[in-house]
Amino acid sequence: MANRSDTKTRILDAAEKLFAERGFSETSLRLITSKAEVNLASVNYHFGSKKELIRAVLARYLDVFMPAASSEIVSLQSSDKDASLNDIFSTLVKPLLDLNQLRSEGTRTFLQLLGRGYIESQGHLRWFITTHYGDHLTQFVKAVADSAPHIPPAEMFWRLHFTLGTVVFTMASADALTEIAAADFGEHNDIEAVIRKVIPYLSAGVAVPVTA
């Protein structure tokens, strides 16, 4: 087979690209298998259903990203008891960018998939993420809450979802936005530059005092 990966991997590779670009329900199994150059029936042989394929695509990223993010946060907390919000968010940059070594365009693909998962969700994806990676999420939320103790938990819930929205929308539109920024302002940004632009925005929004 030489440089041809196995069928299961070929399906996952083609599927994640198409899911990220077009969304889950806009991507048919026929499109996936034709891009992957495998037989239509092999999806059901290897994954059982489209739903389970979607979960497998997400799991392949989450299984790498979540532990890496957790360990970065633990090490930040042990070295700096009073880390700022900016520090906490910046901690995620390395685990995110490392996904580019896992696969080409890995960072952007992952963030786009996450966004699609939260928006399109017929329920099963939110459930899948929170039951399989709930501990990591809880740890992250706690780290953020500790570094912004003036924000009540209910308000923090909203602000973290505002933050999630900012990130996933920006990443989903990253191509178009960098293109416009280059044409209109002569700026040339890669994905890391965009991430570094968004962090101060997020930190300011999360930490802004609650108005009475």
What are all long-range contacts of 81-90, with beta carbons under 8 Å and residues at least 24 apart?
82/147, 83/143, 83/147, 84/147, 84/203, 85/144, 85/147, 85/148, 85/202, 85/203, 85/206, 85/207, 86/199, 86/200, 86/203, 87/147, 88/143, 88/144, 88/147, 89/199, 89/202, 89/203, 90/199
Q: Could you say whether residue 114 binds DNA (CB under 7 A)? A: no
Q: Could you say whether residue 42 binds DNA (CB under 7 A)? A: yes
Build a one-symbol-per-residue string for 43-82: x at contacts with DNA by CB under 7 A, - elsewhere. xxxx-xxxx-------------------------------
Please state, as a whole number, how many other Cβ atoms lie within 10 Å of the Cβ of residue 24: 22
The item of a second copy, DNA, none sharing an interface with residue 29, based on CB under 5 to 8 Å by kind, is: DNA
Counting residues that bind DNA (by CB under 7 A) gives 20
Residue 14 in 3-state DSSP?
helix
Q: Could you say whether residue 35 binds DNA (CB under 7 A)? A: no
Which of residues 12 and 114 has its CB atom nearest to a second copy in the complex? Answer: 114
Residue from 3, 131, 153, 212 in contact with a second copy (CB under 8 A):
153
Q: Could you say whether residue 114 binds a second copy (CB under 8 A)? A: no
Interface positions with DNA (CB under 7 A): 6-7, 27-31, 38-46, 48-51
